[in-house]
Copies of this chain bind each other. A is one copy, B any other.
Amino acid sequence: MTETSDDLEATLAHVWATLAYGVEDSAAPARTLALATVGLDGGAEARMVILRSFCAEDATLAIHTDNASHKVGEILLQARGTLLHWDPETKLQIRLRTTLSTREGTAEEWARVPGTSQLAYGGTPPPGRPISAPDAAGRTADPARFAVIDARITEVETLWLRNNGHRRARFQRNAGFTGVWLAP
């Protein structure tokens, strides 16, 4: 039997399943992903984000953010960002090259955010601004500050670390996500 890591279709199916599981189970490894964007100074920025929804059919996913956070402005200037997942158990790295866009969250999306988590949207001052003491930021839930970042996956790149030779593959949207092997 061919191993998953030696099979392009099975590798992509594993990526989609990993993302779907990240949405379903808050304890799943892919619940958190690193989001890399281009910063306002032109350098690369990165931070962890929480995967909120995923659609394999459209190859899209969504994350939530305070619309006053720096990454919203960064995405407006440069929409191309990468979401990265590394699972130390399976030794699989997943890179998702995406086109990012931000929009206001809908009332329905806001209603699904648990009450304590709603406090993540609306703090004073906005995220990343200096404050005088560790707990000096005001916490209020403000639905007007609740934003959704939609990510359209343009390319999936996988790297599976194996003792007998790593496996690397790329799946592009404009090729219908059929894959090609890459030198690792």
Contact = CB atoms under 8 A, between A and B. Distances in A.
Given A42-B78, A81-B43, A137-B184, A88 B127 contact: no
Contacts of A95: 45-47
Given A48-B84, A48-B86, A86-B34, A130 B181 contact: yes
A93 B49 CA distance: 11
Number of copies of this protein chain within its complex: 2
Interface in A63-96: 78-84, 86, 88, 93, 95
A152 interface: no
A107 interface: no
Interface of A: 5-6, 32, 34, 36-39, 41-48, 78-84, 86, 88, 93, 95, 97, 123-137, 139, 159, 165, 167-170, 180-184
